[in-house]
Structure 1
Amino acid sequence: MTPKSQRLTLAILAVAAIVAAALLAMSALKDQASFFYSPSDAKRDGLPLGRAVRLGGMVQAGSIQRARDGVTVRFVVGDGQATTPVTFAGITPDLFRERSGVVAEGHFNPDGSFTATNLLAKHDEKYMPPQVAGAMHETKTLEK
């Protein structure tokens, strides 16, 4: 084998190894990815059943209901165009309240409701998660 063909073989093997490593990394991260939806996105695009997603919007006024078990909370998240009922079993953040921004991590149910495994609430009066602000800006632009 000539030195030129050895270099070509090594180069092809290096490219193949890099492609294989990239494919392995992508397949490993696929299950860890969490996509963001607003209620109107979920209504328009359909429910992504069976996968971890984030639902963001504003907690609707008068929608928070606490169950007698002291842990389960039901509320409605809206974005100005659509709403989604959410159930969360756990301790809510201190700043979780009506008319505030929230991002719920969890999954959609076939009936259109959302079961949250984690809640993220705003931290001051001016804060809104960037995805929620962008989604609400888009829905207000579409209304005009």
Structure 2
Amino acid sequence: MKARHKRFLLIAVALGLLAAATALVLNAFRDNLVFFHTPSEVAEGKAPQGRPFRVGGMVLPGSLERDADGLTVRFIISDTAQIVPVVYRGALPDLFKETKGAVAQGSLGADGVFVATEVLAKHDENYMPPEAQDAIDRAHNTAKTLQ
């Protein structure tokens, strides 16, 4: 085999390995990517079915219920226009309370109940991520328009 053919073979093998590594990295990235959706987007069917995502908003007053086992919690998250019932099994963050902001990560069940695997509480009264604030503002403006 000529030196030129060996170089061509080496370059082809290197490109093949690079393509395989890139495919593996992109596949792993896609599997771990979790998007944020508002309750309005969930109600409109824009949230993924059968894939984990995050839903956030305010915990409605009077919606927090604890099951007898002490670990299962049910509550409702709202963006002032729509609501999403959430069920979570585990310890809630210390700052989690009704009328405060929360983000739940999990997936939507066939019955429309969001089954959370993780719940995060808003840590500061004055801060909200710009994407979440924008989504809540849009939902609130849409609700005013429909009235």
- TM range, smaller chain: 0.7 to 0.9
The answer to whether the Cα contact below 8 Å between 2:102 and 2:121 also exists between their aligned partners in 1 is yes
Provide the C-alpha distance between the structure 2 equivalents of 1:138 and 1:5, rounded to a whole number of angstroms.
Answer: 61
Provide the C-alpha distance between the structure 2 equivalents of 1:107 and 1:114, rounded to a whole number of angstroms.
Answer: 6
> What's the C-alpha RMSD, in Å, of the aligned pairs?
2.2
Q: Please give the per-residue CA displacement for 1:93-126, whole angstroms capped at 9, x wherever unaligned.
A: 1110112111111111111111111110011211
Match of 2:71 in 1: 71
Q: Please give the per-residue CA displacement for 1:28-61, whole angstroms capped at 9, x wherever unaligned.
A: 3333222222111112235533222211111112
The answer to whether the Cα contact below 8 Å between 1:39 and 1:57 also exists between their aligned partners in 2 is yes
1:108 has 2:113 as partner: no
Query: Residue 75 of structure 2 aligns to a residue in which SS?
Result: strand
Query: Residue 32 of structure 2 aligns to a residue in which SS?
Result: coil
Provide the C-alpha distance between the structure 2 equivalents of 1:131 and 1:90, rounded to a whole number of angstroms.
Answer: 27
The answer to whether the Cα contact below 8 Å between 1:122 and 1:129 also exists between their aligned partners in 2 is no
Provide the C-alpha distance between the structure 2 equivalents of 1:73 and 1:131, rounded to a whole number of angstroms.
Answer: 27
| Greater shift in the superposed pair: 96-105 or 129-138 | 129-138
| Greater shift in the superposed pair: 45-54 or 115-124 | 45-54
The answer to whether the Cα contact below 8 Å between 1:107 and 1:114 also exists between their aligned partners in 2 is yes
Match of 1:18 in 2: 18
1:42 has 2:30 as partner: no
| Greater shift in the superposed pair: 113-122 or 66-75 | 66-75
1:33 has 2:6 as partner: no
Match of 1:61 in 2: 61
Match of 1:138 in 2: 138
Change (3 A) 1:66 1:129: farther
Match of 2:9 in 1: 9
1:125 has 2:128 as partner: no
- Shift, 1:140, TM fit: 4.0
| Greater shift in the superposed pair: 43-52 or 53-62 | 43-52
Change (3 A) 1:125 1:8: same
- Shift, 1:4, TM fit: 4.2
The answer to whether the Cα contact below 8 Å between 2:39 and 2:83 also exists between their aligned partners in 1 is yes
Give 1:22's aligned amino acid: T
Change (3 A) 1:28 1:15: same
Normalising by structure 1, what TM-score? 0.84
Normalising by structure 2, what TM-score? 0.82
